[in-house]
C-alpha cells in the first residue's frame, strides 16, 4: 500500500493551488457570484484564466483537449481546485459538466463527441443533465414520468424536470426519458438535445440554499421535443445502466471538490483561533476550540483516505458502486461537520460573509442531499451487506 503522490501529480497540485490562491480567491467577492451561482460571463472569465495557465479540464480525455487524468489523479487535482468554491468552475471540472464529460467519453459515438463533447470538454460550452423530476424520479429513477414516444426518424419527448443544475445558458442537455411503445417500452433512454429549441422550456429558477453551480437550479419541461435517432446517447433502453457509468465517479468528484473547501475552512478557522484572544489566551489554547480543530483534522483525513481508496478501485477497473456510495456518505457528513465546527470556532464572524465559511456551510449542507441523500446510500449499502455482497 503506497500513499506517496507521484512527483508530476504533486507538481500539478501545487500549480493548481498557486493559481487558486493568486487569481481565484481574490475574485470571491465579485458580485457576479450570485445567489444562483456564478454568471455565465463570470464563468467564461474564470475558465479563460485557468486556460492561460494550462489547467482547464484535468479530467477530460486528451483527444478532446483535456489532461486525461485517472480517478486517483483527479482526487489530488480536484481537492486543490476546491480550495476555493470558484476553483472547480475555473478548471471546468464542476458538476454537472464534469459528470457529463465522463459519461459522453464512455458512451457517445464519434459524431456526438465531435458535435457536443469536444466544445464541452474545452469549456467553450456548458451542459445539464435532466433526470430528476418533481414527482419522484431522482434517487429512484424508476419513477420516471418523462416519456419518449418513437416516431418516424426519432422520438417525441414530453415531461417535466426539476432541480436541473446549470440549465440556464447551457448549450445542450442530456435527457433521461422512459420509452413509450415498442419492444423496449418502459425502459429508460438518454437523449442529447440542444437547449435553444421551442420544445425546451425553462419554467423558473429555484431559490436554493447552495450557490456554487453556474446557472443555479431550474424547473424545466419538454413540450413534444423532437430528437432524431442519431441523437440517442448510446443504445435505446440502456439509460439506467449509463446512469451508473456517470453517477459512481461523479459522486466521488463531488467529494474531492468539497474536501478542498473543507481544508480551506479549517485553515481559516485555525488562523482565527490562533489570533483571537479570549480569557487570557488564544482560542486555540482553549480545549473546546482545540478539540474542534482536532476533530476537523480527523474528518478531513478520513474523507481523503476514503476517496483515495474508491478512486484506486475505479482505476483498477472495478465498478466501485458500493465504494462510491460509502464515500458519498462519509465525505458529505464529515465535510458538513467540518463546516459546522468552523462556523462555531469563528463565532459571530462565522455567521457573516466576511469569510467564505458561511457560504461553504450552506453549500456543504446541500451536499448531503444531492447525488443521493445519505439515507439512500445507507439503504443501498445495507442491502448489499444483508446479501453478503460486502
Is the distance from CB of 286 to CB of 278 less than 8 angstroms? yes
> pTM to 2 decimals?
0.96
Domains parsed from the chain with CATH numbers: 7-121 (1.10.540.10), 127-237 (2.40.110.10), 240-386 (1.20.140.10)
Planar angle of CA 205, 356, 307, nearest 5 degrees: 85
pLDDT recorded at residue 182: 73
Tens of pLDDT, residues 96-117 = 999 999 999 999 999 999 999 9
Query: Measured between alpha carbons, how far is 92 from 39 in angstroms, rounded to an integer?
Result: 14
Is the distance from CB of 60 to CB of 105 less than 8 angstroms? yes
Planar angle of CA 296, 297, 300, nearest 5 degrees: 85
Query: Taking every pair of C-alpha atoms in the chain, what is the biggest distance, in angstroms?
Result: 80
pLDDT per residue, tens digit, the chain (390 aa), is 789 999 999 999 999 999 999 999 999 999 999 999 999 999 999 999 999 999 999 999 999 999 999 999 999 999 999 999 999 999 999 999 999 999 999 999 999 999 999 999 999 999 999 999 998 788 888 899 999 999 999 999 999 999 999 999 999 999 999 999 877 888 999 999 999 999 999 999 999 999 999 999 999 999 999 999 999 999 999 999 999 888 889 999 999 999 999 999 999 999 999 999 999 999 999 999 999 999 999 999 999 999 999 999 999 999 999 999 999 999 999 999 999 999 999 999 999 999 999 999 999 999 999 989 999 999 999 999 999 988
pLDDT recorded at residue 114: 97
pLDDT recorded at residue 135: 87
pLDDT recorded at residue 142: 82
Tens of pLDDT, residues 275-305 = 999 999 999 999 999 999 999 999 999 999 9
pLDDT recorded at residue 244: 86
Is the distance from CB of 237 to CB of 181 less than 8 angstroms? no
With H, G, I as helix, E, B as strand and everything else as coil, classify residue 75: helix
Hey, what's the cell of 282? Answer: 488564544
* Alpha-helical segments (H) within the chain: 7-19, 40-52, 71-81, 87-90, 97-107, 110-112, 118-121, 239-275, 287-315, 321-346, 357-367, 374-386
pLDDT recorded at residue 200: 98
- Paired sense of beta strands 200-206 and 147-151, if any: unpaired
Is the distance from CB of 222 to CB of 159 less than 8 angstroms? yes
Q: Would you tell me how many other CB atoms lie within 10 Å of the CB of residue 52? A: 11
CA dihedral 162, 193, 213, 206 (to 10 degrees): -30
Burial class (CB in 10 A: 0-12, 13-18, 19+), 98: buried
Amino acid at each position: 500500500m503506497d500513499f506517496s503522490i507521484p512527483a508530476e501529480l504533486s507538481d500539478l497540485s501545487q500549480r493548481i493551488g498557486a493559481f487558486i490562491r493568486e487569481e481565484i480567491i481574490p475574485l470571491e467577492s465579485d458580485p457576479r457570484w450570485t445567489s444562483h451561482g456564478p454568471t455565465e460571463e463570470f464563468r467564461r472569465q474564470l475558465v479563460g484564466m485557468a486556460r492561460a495557465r494550462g489547467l482547464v479540464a484535468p479530467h477530460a480525455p486528451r483527444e478532446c483537449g483535456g489532461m486525461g487524468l485517472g480517478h486517483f489523479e483527479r482526487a489530488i487535482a480536484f481537492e486543490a481546485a476546491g480550495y476555493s468554491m470558484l476553483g472547480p468552475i475555473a478548471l471546468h471540472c464542476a458538476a454537472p459538466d464534469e459528470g457529463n464529460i465522463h459519461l459522453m467519453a464512455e458512451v457517445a459515438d464519434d459524431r456526438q463527441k465531435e458535435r457536443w463533447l469536444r466544445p464541452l470538454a474545452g469549456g467553450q460550452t456548458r451542459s445539464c443533465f435532466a433526470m430528476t423530476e418533481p414527482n419522484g424520479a431522482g434517487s429512484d429513477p424508476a419513477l420516471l414520468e418523462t416519456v419518449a414516444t418513437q416516431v418516424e426518424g426519432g422520438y417525441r419527448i414530453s415531461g417535466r424536470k426539476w432541480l436541473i443544475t446549470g440549465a440556464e445558458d447551457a448549450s445542450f442537455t442530456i435527457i433521461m426519458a422512459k420509452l413509450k411503445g415498442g419492444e423496449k417500452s418502459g425502459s429508460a433512454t438518454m437523449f442529447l438535445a440542444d437547449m435553444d429549441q421551442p420544445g425546451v422550456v425553462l419554467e423558473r429558477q429555484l431559490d436554493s440554499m447552495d450557490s456554487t453551480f453556474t446557472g443555479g437550479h431550474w424547473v424545466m419541461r419538454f413540450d413534444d421535443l423532437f430528437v432524431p435517432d442519431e441523437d440517442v446517447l448510446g443504445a435505446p433502453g440502456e439509460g439506467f445502466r449509463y446512469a451508473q457509468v456517470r453517477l459512481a465517479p461523479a459522486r466521488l468528484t463531488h467529494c474531492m471538490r468539497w474536501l478542498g473547501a473543507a481544508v480551506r475552512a479549517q485553515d481559516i478557522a485555525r488562523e482565527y483561533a490562533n489570533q483571537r484572544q479570549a480569557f487570557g489566551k488564544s482560542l486555540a489554547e482553549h480545549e473546546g476550540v482545540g478539540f474542534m480543530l482536532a476533530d476537523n483534522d480527523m474528518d478531513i483525513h478520513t474523507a481523503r483516505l476514503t476517496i483515495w481508496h474508491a478512486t484506486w478501485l475505479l482505476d483498477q477497473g472495478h465498478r466501485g458502486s458500493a465504494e462510491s456510495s460509502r464515500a458519498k456518505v462519509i465525505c458529505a457528513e464529515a465535510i458538513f461537520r467540518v463546516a459546522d465546527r468552523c462556523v462555531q470556532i469563528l463565532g459571530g464572524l462565522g455567521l457573516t460573509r466576511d469569510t467564505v465559511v458561511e457560504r461553504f456551510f450552506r453549500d456543504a449542507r446541500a451536499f448531503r442531499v444531492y447525488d443521493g441523500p445519505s439515507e439512500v446510500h445507507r439503504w443501498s449499502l445495507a442491502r448489499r451487506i444483508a446479501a453478503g455482497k460486502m
